[in-house]
C-alpha cells in the first residue's frame, strides 16, 4: 500500500490567531511584528496584496503602508492555538508529526476505509473540522511523500485549501515546478540540477 501523507499548514498563522481573538480585524490588512518591533513576521492576505513584504523592518513598513494594522507578537497565544490545531489532527490519525508551530505532517494511509471517503475528501473534512473547532484556516497538501505533500500544500493556498498530487498527476506537476519550489532543495543542488 502506498503511503498517503498530508501536510497541514496554518494560513498566515500569527495574524489568523489575532483575527480569531479580535474578529474586527478579519478582512483587513494586518501584520504581526516581532517583539522588539524589528520586522514583519506574519501578514494577512490583504497586507500581502498592498505590498508588505515578509521580514520588512517595522519602521519602513509603517511609513510605507500606514493603513495596515501592526500587532506586536504574542507567542504564548500562538502556542495555545497551535496545540488546539494539532489536537484536531490527532482525531484523524495516530501518526502526526509536528513540523513547526503552524505545520504538521499527518499519515492518512489506510484511512479511506475508516472514513469511507477518498483522500482529498478526508483532507477537506480535516480542514473543515479545524475551522469549526479553532476558527483557523489551513491549507492541506496530499501526496505520497513529505516532499510532495509540502509542494501540494503550497499549491493548496491558491486552490481552495486542498491540493492532491497523485501518481497520475505527478509527471505533469513536476514539469511545471521550478526546482526552487521543491522543499529541501538547497542552492548547491539547485545549481547542480540546472546544469542539466
- Which residues are marked as active site? 103
Answer for the pair 155, 189: CB distance below 8 angstroms, yes or no.
no
Answer for the pair 52, 40: CB distance below 8 angstroms, yes or no.
yes
Q: Cα(47)–Cα(179) distance, rounded to whole angstroms?
A: 28
DSSP codes of every residue in 42-104:
EE-HHHHHHTPPTT-BHHHHHHH-TTSEEEE--HHHHHHHHHHHHHHHTTT-S-EEEEETTEE
Of 103, 95, 96, nearest to 150 (Cα)?
Answer: 103
**What three-state secondary structure class fits 135?**
coil
Cell of 188: 548547491
Amino acid at each position: 500500500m502506498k503511503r498517503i501523507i498530508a501536510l497541514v499548514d496554518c494560513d498566515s498563522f500569527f495574524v489568523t490567531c489575532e483575527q480569531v481573538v479580535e474578529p474586527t480585524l478579519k478582512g483587513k490588512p494586518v501584520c504581526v511584528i516581532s517583539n522588539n518591533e524589528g520586522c514583519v513576521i506574519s501578514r494577512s492576505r490583504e497586507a500581502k496584496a498592498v505590498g508588505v513584504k515578509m521580514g520588512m523592518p517595522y519602521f519602513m513598513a509603517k511609513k510605507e503602508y500606514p493603513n495596515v494594522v501592526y500587532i506586536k507578537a504574542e507567542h504564548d497565544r500562538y502556542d495555545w492555538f497551535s496545540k488546539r490545531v494539532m489536537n484536531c489532527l490527532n482525531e484523524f490519525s495516530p501518526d502526526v508529526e509536528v513540523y513547526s508551530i503552524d505545520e504538521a505532517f499527518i499519515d492518512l494511509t489506510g484511512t479511506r476505509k475508516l472514513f469511507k471517503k477518498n483522500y482529498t475528501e478526508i483532507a477537506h473534512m480535516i480542514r473543515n473540522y479545524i475551522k469549526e473547532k479553532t476558527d483557523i484556516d489551513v491549507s492541506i497538501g496530499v501526496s505520497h511523500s513529505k516532499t510532495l505533500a509540502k509542494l501540494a500544500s503550497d499549491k493548496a493556498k491558491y486552490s481552495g485549501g486542498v491540493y492532491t498530487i497523485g501518481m497520475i498527476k505527478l509527471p505533469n506537476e513536476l514539469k511545471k515546478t521550478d526546482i526552487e519550489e521543491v522543499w529541501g532543495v538547497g542552492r548547491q543542488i539547485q545549481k547542480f540540477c540546472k546544469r542539466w
